[in-house]
């Protein structure tokens, strides 16, 4: 695919995948969320000793909060992303169940005035993903910019439903691959080295 055709192709794919995700029946979503939560808990016990960036679920995304509650009970610190400004990396603020929240960009909840932290691991929700761990996001580039600036680079775990899997997202030079993708079917390493 020619480079100048990629942005429109990604926009069309994003719309299609979001429509599929939003159309998932409640019973399926509940079962898939439980399976992904179990894979995270069983497959990544090291998260219990880390500062982990998660996200507030949006537009039918997998809900990472039950898994994070498990890791928090074992000693993990949790954080949520905050959009500081367009074109800038995300800032992560400490979050815990019951923390005061406010509406951020896109009306997504963010912690209100908690300390900023640097995550050692990130649980990231792709709209789409491929076998090499490249992700299709919402188009703002926030996670790619964030990962490009964090040193050491955090462990990156994408969480999505299998219906979000595509043959390729036609990655560009700025796209950074995830270390793992977790779906309701299991944990898929992408064999991209992490600097953690």
Q: Report helix, strand or coil for 165.
A: strand
Q: Which domain holds residue 112?
A: 3-189
Q: What is the pLDDT of residues 62-104, one digit of tens each?
A: 999 999 999 999 999 999 999 888 878 899 999 999 999 998 8
Phi and psi at residue 116, to the nearest 5°: -80, 140
65-73 vs 26-43: helix axis angle to the nearest 10?
30
Q: 195 lies in a domain?
A: no
Please give the tally of structural domains in the chain. Answer: 1
Tokens of 57: 């679920």
Q: 194 lies in a domain?
A: no
Q: What is the pLDDT of residues 14-37, one digit of tens each?
A: 999 999 999 999 999 999 999 999
Q: 196 lies in a domain?
A: no
Buried residues in 156-192 as b, exposed as e (16+ CB within 10 A): bbbbbbebbbbeebbbeeebbbbbbbbbbeeebebee
Min mean pLDDT across 38-42, 58-62, 72-76 is at 58-62
Whether omega before 152 lies within 30 degrees of 0, making that bond cis, reads: yes
The CATH number assigned to the domain holding 66 equals 3.40.50.10420
Tokens of 168: 């390729």
pLDDT at 161 over 90: yes
Q: 144 lies in a domain?
A: yes
For residue 192, name the pLDDT band (cuts at 50, 70, 90): low
State the residue for tokens 């979001």: 18
Helix (H) or strand (E) holding 129: strand 128-129
Q: 136 lies in a domain?
A: yes
Burial of 123 (0-12, 13-18, 19+ CB in 10 A): buried
Q: 94 lies in a domain?
A: yes
Q: What percent of the chain has pLDDT over 70?
A: 96
Tokens of 52: 């982990």
Q: 37 lies in a domain?
A: yes
């Amino acid at each position: 695919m020619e480079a100048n055709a990629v942005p429109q192709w990604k926009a069309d794919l994003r719309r299609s995948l979001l429509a599929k995700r939003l159309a998932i029946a409640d019973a399926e979503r509940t079962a898939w969320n439980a399976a992904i939560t179990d894979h995270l808990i069983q497959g990544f016990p090291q998260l219990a000793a880390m500062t982990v960036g998660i996200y507030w679920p949006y537009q039918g995304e997998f809900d990472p909060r039950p898994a994070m509650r498990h890791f928090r009970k074992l000693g993990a610190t949790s954080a949520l992303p905050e959009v500081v400004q367009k074109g800038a990396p995300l800032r992560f603020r400490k979050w815990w169940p019951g923390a005061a929240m406010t509406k951020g960009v896109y009306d997504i909840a963010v912690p209100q005035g908690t300390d900023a932290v640097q995550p050692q691991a990130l649980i990231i929700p792709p709209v789409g993903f491929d076998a090499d761990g490249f992700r299709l996001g919402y188009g703002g580039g926030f996670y790619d910019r964030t990962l490009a600036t964090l040193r050491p680079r955090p462990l990156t775990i994408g969480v999505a439903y299998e219906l979000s899997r595509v043959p390729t997202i036609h990655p560009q030079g700025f796209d950074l691959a995830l270390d793992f993708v977790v779906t309701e079917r299991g944990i898929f390493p992408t064999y991209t080295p992490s600097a953690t």
